[in-house]
Amino acid sequence: MKKINILIAFAVVTGLAFTSCNETKEKNEEVGVAAEAEENAVAYNADTAKSVINWSGNKPTGTHTGTISLANGEIMVNDRNIEAGTFTIDMKSIVVTDLEAGDGKENLEAHLMGTVEGKEGDFFNVTEYPTATFEITSIEGDQYKPTVKGNLTIKGKTNPVSFNATVSYPGDTMFLKSEKFKIDRTKWDVNYGSKSVFDNLGDKFISDDMELQIELHASK
């Protein structure tokens, strides 16, 4: 009886600890409120022809790289200080850059976008979720080398992300280039090939982490 009571107590304590850890994790990952610009801030509109999001994904057999384009975007600047910004990402613009046409490029692009019958939900399902969004919640640090924090929404799921960037203002334009940063794709229900979601994948898994780098061109 004493042994049973000890086991029960252990289970209760472990359960409470697990719950506490989960609550702490969720608390640390709460989305922020979109930043608002001052009235005298100047709007810079994203140049969608030049702006790009570079991405890479890893698996045991190698790395795939590619790009995604912006559909539109606006960033608010006050005396060369970024104050706010919202961007729409065109998920139908996913391009694979490490493969040649006819050598698996088209197949991988179709799989990532979810345009293959029966595999719509494996990755980004662009038919149901044609766009993603990013909104700035805060800017920290130097105005030319800021840390940008914001909410990234993909497939209807919103999570906070942050990245370091370098900003310049040539003429009436601005250019922001982020350092490479990683996001855990499973937080946005992009679960295909994830070892943290599925068992018995062996070496046929894909890393949960996607590496991103943003190059934003904008003008007044």
Per-residue pLDDT tens digits for 14-26: 344 334 444 333 4
Contact 211, 163 (CB under 8 A): no
- Strand ranges (DSSP E) for 79-156? 81-96, 131-141, 146-154
Per-residue pLDDT at 3? 43
Contacts of 20 (CB under 8 A, 6+ apart): none
- Which residues are registered as beta bridge partners of 184? 209
Strands (E), the chain: 42-46, 52-59, 62-78, 81-96, 131-141, 146-154, 157-168, 173-178, 181-184, 209-219
* Per-residue pLDDT tens over the stretch 176-214: 999 999 999 999 999 999 999 988 888 789 999 999 999
Cα–Cα distance, 48 to 25 (Å, whole number): 35
CA–chain centroid gap for 11, Å, is 37
The three-class DSSP label of residue 14 is helix
Q: Which pLDDT belongs to residue 203?
A: 77
Q: Which segments of the chain have a pLDDT < 50? A: 1-28
Q: What is the DSSP letter of 180?
A: P
